Amino acid sequence: MDLDGSVEEGPVRHVSCFYERHGAAILQIFNEAILHSTAVYDYRPRSAETIRSWLESKGRAGLPVIGIEGAGGELLGFATYGSFRDRPAYKYSVEHSVYVRSDRRRKGLGVMLLTALIDAARGQERHVMVGGIDVENAASIALHRKLGFSCAGTIRHAGYKFGRWLDLAFYQLILDTPARPVDG
């Protein structure tokens, strides 16, 4: 599998996501995850305006929203990161998310997206990437372990969805950047 090449389903390419081109697909992928999985500990689907605002704020902050398009230009998945916490001393840590369209999972796209996100984090001089993963999401845990993430801990009963308590595991990857971290 190449980063811009082929996976099981054929040729794909990385793109930066923008509302005009990818907003509707991001909305569909994200809302499917909200409504039918524990990948997002939320109950209500997002609106198109929420996605527009979210993408614009990512752009203003210089944060990546990386997508994978199929040969026909359709968005197959996306990945992004944002602040881990809002205090200044956390500036080198980010919390990330990876979403793949439900009909395109287990074909190598998650690896491509997370690898591109790791590269982006290194390029932006980040040091720690954190992913919060429902403990029953074996595919996401396997993806993170495959790319060198380790479990940093689990918060039991962190969420409640679909009539049950959910345990949230945090997986982290420590990067070799920045070369010269500074306070302030």
pLDDT of residue 184: 82
List the 10-16 sheet strands across, edge first. 6-7, 10-16, 65-70, 75-83, 93-100, 128-134, 164-174, 150-161
What domains sit in the chain, N to C, each tagged with a CATH number? Answer: 6-174 (3.40.630.30)
pLDDT of residue 36: 96
pLDDT of residue 3: 40
Q: Note the pTM of the prediction, 2 decimals.
A: 0.92
pLDDT of residue 10: 67
Residue 34 has phi, psi (to 5 degrees) of -65, -50
Its sign, for the CA torsion 61, 173, 113, 177, is positive
Q: Would you tell me how many other CB atoms lie within 10 Å of the CB of residue 148? A: 13
Name which of 116, 110, 118, 113 is nearest 175 in CA terms: 118
pLDDT digits (tens, 9 = 90+) for 110-132: 999 999 999 999 999 999 999 99
| SS3 state at 130 | strand
Report, as ranges of residue numbers, the positions in the chain whose pLDDT lies below 50.
1-6
Alpha-carbon span 141 to 131, nearest angstrom: 10
